[in-house]
Chain A
Amino acid sequence: MFRLPVLRRFRIGAVVAAIAVALPLAACSTGGGSSDSGSSSEATDTLNLAIPPSALTLDPAQMQPTNSRYIWGSIYESLAYWDPQTGAVTPWAAKGWAYSPDGKTLTIQLRDGLTFSDGSAVLASDVAATINRSVNTSGYIQSVDTAVASAEASDDKTVLVHFKYYDPKWVSLMGREVGVIAKASNLNSPDIATNPIGSGPYTLDTQASVPGTKYVLRKRKDYWDAESFPFSTINVNIVNDPTAQLNAFKAGQANATIVTSQQVSGAKAVEGATVTQVDATTVYWLLFLDKYGKSSNPEFKDVRVRQAVNYALDRDGIANKLLQGHATPTDQVFFPSRDVFDKDLEQKYPYDPAKAKELLAQAGYPNGFTIEIPSSQATQQFEPTLSQELGAVGITLKWVPIPESQTASIILTGQYQLYLKQSGIVSDPYTAALYFTPDGGTVNPEKYTDPTITSIYDKITTTVDPKQSIEVYKELNNYAVDQALAAPVTMTAALWATSQGVTFVDRAGLPSDIRQFGVAGK
């Protein structure tokens, strides 16, 4: 047996090393932490957000209305904003606007005092240049902003936007990515996507930021309405894992974060924390992708089969049991707290398996049928329940796993006739209306339409008066529910946890906006 004095020295050395490391660490742990850890005590001045990743570019032609809007929406000024309290599109950099009678020209008046972060004045020519570049650059904005022909400045404060046809959604887009204002001379800068000259209330601290990981925003003192933005610094931390987001919140590194329904109790356990439920941010709906009946599963051509699916769904059960009450049962896809949503329609398809069976029998399917349906991470939670409820009336679902990243292209191939889709809800009725038109994208890959839909859509695109247009949207909503063009299941909620001192405005269907967050007592 060997006796090794050297090992004893190693042992002693190891203990000394451990103490040497532990002491300073323990010391700093009691010293208030380093600059990276935003504790709740500094919450009134600094907002530390922990959000999941999404496309993060500051190129005005490519920005998307995802969580990344907390970043680009703070750096760029927007012509309008969606009021967090009311949901209404409200003038901001634009003090007003007016359509020409044919809806093909929009005149926008800019307010006084707008400046870029380099101190220069925001001019109408900057607004026009931003719009023109976005509609002429292939990218996200070009794909949503299809109606604009061009924009021009008639003077320093007046912008004229010329449309190829009346676009009912354009005013609401002014409060989203389409309405941002970039500096004309900076638009073709090579670093426009990472370090732009902004016009909004915050500037990006590029030294402290790590693209794709952490964005540090500093409030502009020379901003025309700096008082409306209470936080002097906003740290937006991109955290991929929901558990890590919650841990950051629990440890005091984040004072606002998104949580899942399973994480609510954990977030509430933090002293002074509040969890706010934002109703109706996402709709889950079963889409009938072959209403023309051209495939080997032509069943959904028959309105009675589509209605049977609607009757077979126990929406209350799904919302309250499966989703633990963090969801609202619905058979509509229009935003619930706006004018188009019709409460009476919610009674259209009560849970009635017997009625569903009867309708299937009338349609010629007394023994039901079997159908394949794509399975992905987003659908897994619902699969057992949907299989059970539709199976009970004779419709057997065969879930087929598909790659998450290829969902869109697989749906567009027309391979599947039924699909459980998760769509973000916006309060803009035109976006919801589009789902039922041939421009519905992955919601309507077969480009289904019928004379009624065509007629209503024509009215939507020619009715410039907002009040009159609401009635037209209602007509479409009524028709979509009556004809069971889809089978909406639930509108699920988003859950935000905020620390003591940070407030969060309950808002749904609106773009992510830094205005959601406030300081308690202010």
Chain B
Amino acid sequence: MLLYALRRLGIGVVLAVLVTFITYLLLSTSFRDMVSTLLGPDATPDSVTGRLHDLGYDRPLVVQYGDWLAHAVRGDLGTSLFTSQAVAPAVLSHMVVTMSIVLPGLAIALILSVILGVWAASRSGAPDRIAQGISLVGHVVPALLTAIVLVVVFAVELKIFPATGYVQFGDSPVGWLRSTTLPVVVLVVAGMAAITAQVRGSMIDELGKDYVRTLRTAGLPSWSIVLKHALRNAGSPALTVTSLQFIQLFSHSVIIENVFALPGFGSFAFTSAQSIDVPVIMGVTIVSVVLVTVVNLIADIVNGYLNPKARLH
């Protein structure tokens, strides 16, 4: 397992270098536009050229990228050209905000999906229709719409939750809870769609297998059969879907954070892309690659625990 994890991490490193290099390559076509934006509408071509030179963006591309990479491996992701903020701590601080909605959103979605999926598979009939209905709603209603409706109802009209903004947990735990509740609900609705469907489907498959019948004839209680045996076997594909949902919810955060004006990773990436803030875009890119790699690795390791056959791969 250790060797496997190291091999996956190695692939992750290669992936990170490749993705960041391609990103830098693509961004290089916009260096001049970035500096023009930076210098404002009065900028002359000469002043743009001068600033490009001062910032080092007129050097050979490979040299620039190598320079960036050499600093990046030491944890120095540069400084934002538009806010003068160091990129590494900025990325981290925005990541904290995103994680504070994505992780609870995913956890709640997972718990509710498992309950709903197991309930639906076990009981069929009305519970099954309810589960399928919830899953369908999650699939067809865009997260943006859910977010807007929640803001209008619970923030603008009822004024129960704030419409925008984020309160750090350290400043006010209650304020933090209030500022993250609506975004978390949006992510829960979005996340439950796929996970519920997967858990339900897997559980139906497992409960129809021979070993379940054998266990029942052996006299094991129903809850033990479902939770200890069937759910464990159904857990592996559900976990894969959950890891994919994590990435999906991370993508959703771009929309959600804009609606709720949360200073998260998504809105940070969006704003930096709009202004072509190259150091920030590169920082966001490498952190995203690392995050996806690590999440997939964790999912594989947990999968290996749940399903010994997965450890062979």
Contacts and interface: CB of A to CB of B under 8 A. Distances in A.
Interface of A: 1-7, 10, 14, 21, 24-26, 28-29, 33-37, 50, 53, 55-59, 62, 64-65, 138-140, 142-144, 193-194, 210-214, 237, 239-241, 243-245, 247-248, 250-254, 405-409, 412, 423-424, 439, 441-442
Interface string B25-47: 00000101110111111111101
Contact of A212 (B80, B175, B274): B80
Contacts of A3: 222
Given A4-B122, A55-B38, A213 B263 contact: yes
7 contacts: A7-B122, A25-B177, A36-B172, A240-B258, A243-B259, A247-B152, A253-B162
Contacts of A36: 162, 165-167, 171-172, 175, 179
Interface in B114-165: 115, 118-119, 122-124, 148, 151-152, 155-156, 158-165
Interface in B5-55: 30, 32-34, 36-45, 47, 50-51, 53-54
Shortest Cβ-Cβ A-B pairs, 8 listed: A193-B84, A34-B175, A213-B263, A251-B163, A247-B163, A143-B47, A29-B160, A248-B164
B interface bracket (residues with beta carbon within 8 Å of A): 35 or more
Nearest to A445: B45
B164 A251 contact: yes
A252 B39 CA distance: 35
A21 to B, nearest CB: 8
Contacts of B44: 143, 439, 441
B227 interface: yes
A228 B81 CA distance: 34
B260 interface: yes
A33 B167 CA distance: 12
Contacts, number: 200
Given A3-B222, A210-B93, A139 B51 contact: yes
Contacts of B226: 2, 4
Nearest to A58: B84
A516 B166 CA distance: 27
B251 interface: no
A7 B118 contact: yes
Contacts of B223: 4-6
Q: Which of A245, A441, A442 has the most CB of B within 10 A?
A: A441
B162 A37 contact: yes
B49 to A, nearest CB: 10
A34 B40 contact: no
B107 to A, nearest CB: 12
A244 B260 contact: yes
A441 B41 contact: yes
B268 interface: yes
Given A2-B122, A25-B178, A405-B37, A143 B261 contact: no
B159 A14 contact: no
Given A64-B40, A251-B156, A33 B83 contact: no
Nearest to A443: B41
A442 B41 contact: yes
Interface string B219-231: 0001101110000
Given A24-B174, A57-B84, A212-B83, A33 B40 contact: no
Given A14-B112, A143-B47, 12 more contacts: A4-B122, A4-B223, A4-B226, A21-B177, A34-B178, A53-B274, A55-B82, A138-B50, A140-B43, A144-B42, A210-B93, A211-B85
A446 B119 CA distance: 71
B164 A50 contact: yes
B178 A29 contact: yes
Nearest to A36: B167
A69 to B, nearest CB: 12
Nearest to B274: A405
Nearest to A13: B115
Interface in B252-303: 258-261, 263, 267-268, 270-271, 274-276
Given A237-B164, A247-B155, A406 B33 contact: yes
Given A2-B226, A240-B258, A247-B164, A35 B159 contact: no
Nearest to A28: B174
A241 B47 contact: no
B263 A143 contact: no
B85 A194 contact: yes
Contacts of A59: 84
A55 B267 CA distance: 15
Q: Which of B40, B152, B225, B267 has the most CB of A within 10 A?
A: B40
B181 interface: yes
B90 interface: yes
Given A4-B222, A194-B85, A237 B165 contact: yes
Contacts of B271: 53, 212, 240
B213 to A, nearest CB: 12
A250 B163 contact: yes
Nearest to B49: A138
B105 to A, nearest CB: 14
A26 B160 contact: yes
A407 B32 CA distance: 11
Nearest to B259: A244
A192 B198 CA distance: 53
Nearest to B125: A1
A251 B162 contact: yes
Contacts of B225: 2
B181 A25 contact: yes
Given A29-B159, A251-B162, A241 B119 contact: no
A193 B85 CA distance: 8
B198 to A, nearest CB: 19
A471 to B, nearest CB: 25
A286 to B, nearest CB: 17
Contacts of A25: 160-161, 177-178, 181
A242 to B, nearest CB: 10
A441 B276 CA distance: 21
A194 B122 CA distance: 58
Contacts of B53: 138
Contact of B263 (A26, A64, A210, A408): A210
B23 to A, nearest CB: 15
A37 B167 CA distance: 10
B225 to A, nearest CB: 8
A35 B166 CA distance: 11
Given A247-B164, A409-B36, A194 B260 contact: no
Nearest to B79: A193
Nearest to B112: A14
Nearest to B160: A29
Nearest to A10: B115
Contact of B85 (A35, A212, A407): A212
B121 to A, nearest CB: 9
Nearest to B114: A10
Contacts of B275: 53, 55, 405
Contacts of A405: 30, 33-34, 37, 274-276
Nearest to B84: A193
A3 B148 CA distance: 39
A367 B259 CA distance: 49
Nearest to B34: A405
